[in-house]
Amino acid sequence: MFEQAKVKPPTPATTALVDRIAAASRAEAQAAAERLVSIADLFEEREKSFGGCDDWVIDLFEAVAAEVAATLRIGLGLGTSYLRYAMAMRHRLPKVGARFEAGDIDFRLFQTIVFRTHLITDLDALDEVDAQIAARAPRWPAMSRRRLAGAIDKIVAKVDPDAVRRSKESIEDRYVKVQATDDGMAEVVGQVFDTTGKALDRRLDELAGTVCDGDPRTRDQRRADALDAMVAGADRLTCTCGSDTCPAWSNTRPAGNVVIHVVAEQGALDGTSQTPAVIPGSDALISAEVLRELAANAKLLPVIGPIDAPPEPRYSPSRALADFVRCRDLTCRAPGCDHPAANCDLDHTIPYERDGLTHASNLKALCRKHHLLKTFWGWRDEQLPDGTVIWTLPDGRRYVTMPGSALLFPTLCTPTGYLPEPGGSAEERCGNRTAMMPRRRRTRAQYRAAAIEAERRRNHERRTQRQRWNNWYFDLPSVPDGEPPPF
């Protein structure tokens, strides 16, 4: 016998709360749709002013996406996605977009619809799919992403079978990914050929077996450390038993040509501070305890701030100055961008050819895209001696970015000295450089059309191949009793 809770009838208070939840959900969807509408409007306004630059490396689409990313303080990739969704809502799926604006579907569902209908090229087919999905989508929000994909694909398959998004063959989907985790560790996952996997597994066992029985590590720990030895190009694993009579023991780590930079305070190395360290380009922090263990076999180089140092008499900064700027900035200094400084250009805030100086107070890390945006798309910047950068975008909005080291390593942000202001305005100093803009071999629209056509062609080939196999299988002649089948 089960005891059931006594269900009380709804009260005006609970009814009002549920209504507020539903209204908030609808308002959230409407706000997300309004954001995309505004982004599409911004693109069309910019298009009126900047035409004929489709073959630029940083074309109008990329420039607007970067402006959106700066406004929302997000990365360039996410800003590009928002613009792509906005243009799909405006031009490809207006009926679904109307449902989105009304709050009948949410952003998650709209994203899935845009992705699953991306390969439709025939306008009549797209209009039919748009109408069918718009009629059914308000009943789908409770579905998982997998079920949503299936429901959308069924509609697409009836109208345009070659436009159904299919997963790639497993042989094409091989990869290895290294993802930073917590406390200075990383997770390595991937999918490789079976032969490669077996060879790697055997090699890790071989390296893990090159230490003596007194090594204190477990087998799994030795296999993990064997990856370090492989990266260093070593043919054995360093034994850590510590015995002078161990034939496998060595107090030096094999030399390699792979260098990983870690930024840390001196106090964390000395044991007088618990400030964590960072690997430039990684979001994970390394605790002081792990840092001291890593430092035992690492080369230590001090990063000395060039406080009141004179400008260097050349365009390219010295190694010491470049290292300081990258350690100070850690990432690209454009608003919202997290591209690692190690892979960025070192940009002269005031251009070198316009009397800008090669000095820490005039250098910062900029990824190549934001560097081109500054050079060709009217992004203007001002840099303070502590590394603070004040950006002014083409619409006049201003954004302030601080060096990435400001929170953990404030000593790197000590003002490095004021520089004399060169003559002329920022606009005059940058000048008109559109003639030097790198060009694309194919426009963005041409590249996208080629990619869609290639995926549609693969879908068609796989579909017809399966159809031929089905026709062959079901048309097989009957086999007399006692005779083997013809396969």
Mark residue 297 as left, alpha or beta (left: phi above 0; alpha: psi -120 to 50; beta: remaining).
alpha
Task: For the chain, count helices (H), then strands (E).
Answer: 15, 9
Identify the bridge partners of residue 278 per DSSP, sorted by sequence position. 263, 285
What does the buried/exposed string (b/e) look like for 7-45 if buried means 16 or more CB atoms within 10 Å of the residue's CB? eeeeeeeeeeeeeeeeeeeeeebbebbebbbebbebbee
Lookup: tokens for 204: 């890790």
pTM for the predicted model, two decimal places: 0.76
201: phi then psi, degrees, rounded to nearest 5: -60, -45
356: phi then psi, degrees, rounded to nearest 5: -75, 150
DSSP state of 362: G
What does the buried/exposed string (b/e) look like for 368-379 if buried means 16 or more CB atoms within 10 Å of the residue's CB? ebbbbbbbbbbb
Tally of CB atoms within 10 A around 253: 14
Q: Are 161 and 153 in contact (CB under 8 A)?
A: no
- pLDDT per residue, tens digit, the chain (487 aa), is 556 666 678 888 989 999 999 999 999 999 999 999 999 999 999 998 887 788 898 999 999 999 999 999 999 999 999 999 999 999 999 999 999 999 999 999 999 999 999 999 999 999 999 999 999 999 987 788 888 999 999 999 999 999 998 765 545 567 888 877 766 678 888 887 666 777 788 888 888 888 888 888 898 888 888 888 887 777 788 888 878 778 765 544 454 455 677 888 888 888 888 888 887 766 678 888 888 877 776 778 888 778 878 999 999 999 999 999 999 999 999 999 989 998 899 999 999 988 899 999 999 999 999 999 999 998 999 999 999 999 999 889 999 999 999 988 998 999 998 888 776 555 554 544 555 778 888 999 999 999 999 999 998 888 888 777 777 666 655 545 444 444 3
Distance CA 163, CA 457 (A): 9
